[in-house]
């Protein structure tokens, strides 16, 4: 076995842990119990991805999470007018990096993946879901919408289902996620960690450059379109949505723990 096996791939941050085994880099979200992604944590994820994407020896990048949730999403406080530009820039940098890598990307979703957590999971090539997992984009309920989900979900589950999830703020269970193709594999909760380990071990037994070339051959024609869609959705978010009174009302209502009073403008 290589002397590099099971060695840290990069310094761990305050909110994430990083490890590597036989060409598989694992990034573990470690802000339990809900792994809410604040700006500091998003910065750590981006730094980890920049290192991983720049390492052409990797066969795969795997996201796991500690606590009961995969991630409950990006901190609502970071959506407000004074922070939204920095949040979008940092958060979307992670997805532009994921879209650029030839390494297989895998999300191991043991619990709730909501909002930005759902976007992070479903942007990965493979989603391994516990039967206890749930997925959803509830952003519309606080007056915003999810640009990344608007870009990736039509490709993953079809336009009609993507519209329903994004425009109605629907949350679905793991079985429904698997049925529509959002989750790649469904795993019994008591077997989840072991089955994820088995999946990672199976990747490690393959030729790393062959895995990368196989992925590139499959996704390369779609990359430019996906990134262009993300850019348009991002522009709609920052230039149109953030000029609506309802967007600011929804965010304020959430932070003030009250029901929003929509003006429909």
What is the per-residue pLDDT across 174-195, written as a single tens digit (0 to 9) for each?
999 999 999 999 999 999 999 9
Nearest to 117 by CA among 163, 63, 177: 63
Q: Tell me, what CATH number does 149's domain have?
A: 3.90.226.10
Q: Is the bond preceding 33 in cis, omega lying within 30 degrees of 0?
A: yes
Decide if 174 is inside a domain. yes
241-259 burial, b if ≥16 CB within 10 A, otherwise e? bbebebbbbbbbbbeeeee
Q: Which residue has the higher pLDDT, 3 or 98?
A: 98
Residue 125 domain boundaries = 1-189+213-258
DSSP state string for 198-261: HHHHHHHTS-HHHHHHHHHHHHHHHHHHHHHHHHHHHHIIIIIGGGSHHHHHHHHHHHTTS---
Decide if 202 is inside a domain. no
Decide if 204 is inside a domain. no
Decide if 207 is inside a domain. no
| Both tokens assigned to 21 | 């085994």
Confidence (pLDDT) at 110: 98
Single pTM value for the model = 0.94
Confidence (pLDDT) at 2: 35
Q: Tell me the per-residue pLDDT of 137-156, one tens digit each, with 9 for 90 and over.
A: 999 999 999 999 999 999 99
Decide if 197 is inside a domain. no
What's the mean pLDDT in 55-71?
Answer: 97
Q: Helix, strand, or coil here: 182?
A: coil
Does 8 score more than 70 pLDDT? no
């Amino acid at each position: 076995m290589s002397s590099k096996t099971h060695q840290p791939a990069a310094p761990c941050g305050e909110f994430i842990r990083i490890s590597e085994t036989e060409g598989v880099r694992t990034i573990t979200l470690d802000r339990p119990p809900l792994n809410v992604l604040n700006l500091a944590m998003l910065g750590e994820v981006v730094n980890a991805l920049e290192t991983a994407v720049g390492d052409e020896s990797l066969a795969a990048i795997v996201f796991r999470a500690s606590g009961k949730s995969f991630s409950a999403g990006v901190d609502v406080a970071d959506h407000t007018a004074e922070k939204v530009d920095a949040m979008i820039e940092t958060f979307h940098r992670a997805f532009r990096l994921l879209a650029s890598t030839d390494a297989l990307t895998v999300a191991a979703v043991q619990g709730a993946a909501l909002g930005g957590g759902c976007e992070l999971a479903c942007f990965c090539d493979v989603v391994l879901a516990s039967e206890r997992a749930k997925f959803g984009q509830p952003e519309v309920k606080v007056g915003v919408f999810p640009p990344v989900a608007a870009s990736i979900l039509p490709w993953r589950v079809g336009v009609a289902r993507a519209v329903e999830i994004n425009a109605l703020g629907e949350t679905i269970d793991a079985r429904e996620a698997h049925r529509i193709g959002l989750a790649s594999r469904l795993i019994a909760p008591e077997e989840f960690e072991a089955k994820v380990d088995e999946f990672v071990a199976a990747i490690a037994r393959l030729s790393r450059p062959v895995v990368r070339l196989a992925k590139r051959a499959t996704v390369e024609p779609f990359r430019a379109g996906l990134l262009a869609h993300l850019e348009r959705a991002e522009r709609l978010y920052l230039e149109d949505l953030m000029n609506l009174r309802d967007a600011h009302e929804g965010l304020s209502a959430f932070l003030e723990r009250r029901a929003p009073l929509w003006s429909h403008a």
